[in-house]
Chains A and B, each alone.
Chain A
């Protein structure tokens, strides 16, 4: 059951604590679940638990490629591995290992990449994955998730361990705006309507949901009715929901904390082109590398704010 409780407030939980608690709970309930990290257990909230669960928490050291391969071997031995690193290393650094030892070899692995896009803040451009979504989108049969809030994170992580293929979950380590009631289930592959509307639909994911909701409220005051749809599952996209909303509103804006190429925008454009061509626009990173700064600075710098969404809504409505 999914209940929306969004009112603009922040969920008190840190996502890294949710990862830690969920991994511990999954391992308790299933002897096949095993967690691997690459010297970042203190960042994934699993360090304390790992000290008392040495057989279920494997620290691989700073060797992400090996971690991905070891996870593949563990899967071949009958385990359900969950691996973690920062999003940059959990995607591009281990791509060949995840692609071949994992996906191609049919060794099922859940990958958690933390600090996606601008949430990498003080670690800066070297640690700022704008491309992780595109990489995992290009991996056949992969599942790609941009978690909406701590509740969504817990729900999708629980589903991923028993889901075939490679599953990539990108999520910040810190706090998110609260969207769903604690304990809500978010079935993978089903988009969720956060706000009804009739003039334009905003498809968003991850931290951009909060921005989309703020933009929709502001637009309402200006007489524009904007729907907001949570596309936390980027792949497989909920094509039926995309089509239905595009048909109803006749104008689409996509908001994502990633490069505009190869991510949610492209995914939605494919659906629109094949099923329901309507004017579309995007709020995303305009094909740039990351840089250091606060999240507020970076959202302004890369154009990932509610104001940028409003601007694109107006632009797309003019083309409707």
Chain B
């Protein structure tokens, strides 16, 4: 990746964080931790990897994103707003009555959201079905599935991974947001998941692990998936829940947090300083 492109993607990731934070602040609280940990991957996906048309969100040959950890909706909405799928100002309607931006992703409400998720695990099967359907249709596109590490507690995930492997869905790319924490605490305390790489390999996935805060590493891992083949892909993103905001990272239980005016000001200032340092 060229230095300039890397800088641009990093800036995009910071803007996603700032926009998502603005949306969550507008309603007072939300899933800050898991939104921050997945922002870098979203920046790479929508910044360079995915074929999408903001002016034609339902374009059938597009690449699809299934945010199976549906509570990271605000990160997706921030990304889509910055890409021009809908006006930026609409982010402040998050979770308000009648909004197109509900807490969890809804394909019938938000332009650019490809699947309805929120009941954890369900996005994995939907993504497998989408990938199978696209393959049967002869479409030359990919389905990107983002799964939370805590979400992997759900048995449905493993059913769908067996299926994806058995049906040779080389057009499916699973990104696991391994941020080590779930709602009640650390995975190792709640339900230890062991080695995600070994598990995904055992389920028949072409698997790599990368630093989920390093856009260059994420980009390289995604480039590997462009050629399809007979195996679905898994990318284990080694991330930090709350990544990008020091205070949020330091709060152990940061799954969902109130975002007061003071927090919003401080956290936005931190992100803005990083953006300024990047862009000069």
Once bound together, how far apart are the Cα atoms of A107 and B129, in whole Å? 11
Once bound together, how far apart are the Cα atoms of A69 and B117, in whole Å? 11
B131's nearest neighbour on chain A, judged by CB, is A73
B132/A101 in contact, CB under 8 A? no
A73/B127 in contact, CB under 8 A? yes
Question: Which one, B114, B122, B129, B163, contacts A100 given CB within 8 A?
Answer: B122
A74/B160 in contact, CB under 8 A? no
- How large, as a class, is the contact surface on chain B? 20 to 34
Given A77-B137, A96-B119, A104-B116, A70 and B125 touching (CB < 8 A)? yes
Chain A CB within 8 A of B162 CB: yes
Chain B CB within 8 A of A26 CB: no
Per-residue CB contact flags for chain A residues 59-78 toward chain B (1 = under 8 Å, else 0) read 01101011111111111111
Q: Which residues of A contact B121 (CB under 8 A)?
A: 65
Closest chain-A Cβ to B124's Cβ sits at a distance in Å of 7
Per-residue CB contact flags for chain B residues 38-64 toward chain A (1 = under 8 Å, else 0) read 000000000000000000000010000
Chain B CB within 8 A of A253 CB: no
Closest chain-B Cβ to A1's Cβ sits at a distance in Å of 36
Closest chain-A Cβ to B205's Cβ sits at a distance in Å of 16
Once bound together, how far apart are the Cα atoms of A100 and B123, in whole Å? 10
Given A96-B119, A100-B118, A101-B122, A72 and B129 touching (CB < 8 A)? yes
Q: Which residues of B contact A66 (CB under 8 A)?
A: 125, 128, 156, 159-160, 162-163
A60/B163 in contact, CB under 8 A? yes
Once bound together, how far apart are the Cα atoms of A165 and B97, in whole Å? 25
Residue of B115, B124, B133, B166 most packed against chain A (CB within 10 A): B133
Closest chain-B Cβ to A28's Cβ sits at a distance in Å of 16
Chain A CB within 8 A of B108 CB: yes
B130/A97 in contact, CB under 8 A? no
Q: Which residues of A contact B128 (CB under 8 A)?
A: 66, 69-70, 73
Q: Which residues of A contact B119 (CB under 8 A)?
A: 96, 100
Once bound together, how far apart are the Cα atoms of A66 and B166, in whole Å? 13
Once bound together, how far apart are the Cα atoms of A103 and B132, in whole Å? 20
A73/B133 in contact, CB under 8 A? yes
A70's nearest neighbour on chain B, judged by CB, is B129
Chain A CB within 8 A of B254 CB: no
Once bound together, how far apart are the Cα atoms of A106 and B60, in whole Å? 17
B137/A72 in contact, CB under 8 A? no
Q: Which residues of B contact A75 (CB under 8 A)?
A: 129
Q: Which residues of B contact A104 (CB under 8 A)?
A: 116
Q: Which residues of B contact A100 (CB under 8 A)?
A: 116, 118-119, 122
Chain B CB within 8 A of A58 CB: yes
Within 8 A of A (CB), among B161-190: 162-163, 166-167
Once bound together, how far apart are the Cα atoms of A108 and B167, in whole Å? 22
Q: Which residues of B contact A68 (CB under 8 A)?
A: 125
B160's nearest neighbour on chain A, judged by CB, is A66
Chain B CB within 8 A of A55 CB: yes
Closest chain-A Cβ to B91's Cβ sits at a distance in Å of 23
Chain B CB within 8 A of A105 CB: yes
Q: Which residues of B contact A107 (CB under 8 A)?
A: 126
Chain B CB within 8 A of A79 CB: yes
A76/B108 in contact, CB under 8 A? no
B166's nearest neighbour on chain A, judged by CB, is A61
Question: Which one, B116, B118, B125, B162, contacts A61 given CB within 8 A?
Answer: B162
Q: Which residues of A contact B106 (CB under 8 A)?
A: 105
Within 8 A of A (CB), among B245-274: none
Closest chain-A Cβ to B171's Cβ sits at a distance in Å of 11
A-B contact pairs, 26 of them (CB 8 A): A61-B162, A63-B163, A66-B128, A66-B156, A66-B159, A66-B162, A67-B125, A69-B122, A69-B126, A70-B163, A72-B129, A73-B126, A73-B132, A74-B130, A74-B132, A75-B129, A76-B114, A76-B130, A77-B132, A77-B134, A78-B133, A96-B122, A100-B122, A101-B126, A104-B116, A106-B108
Q: Residues of B at under 8 Å CB distance from A?
A: 60, 106-108, 114-116, 118-119, 121-122, 124-134, 136-137, 155-156, 159-160, 162-163, 166-167
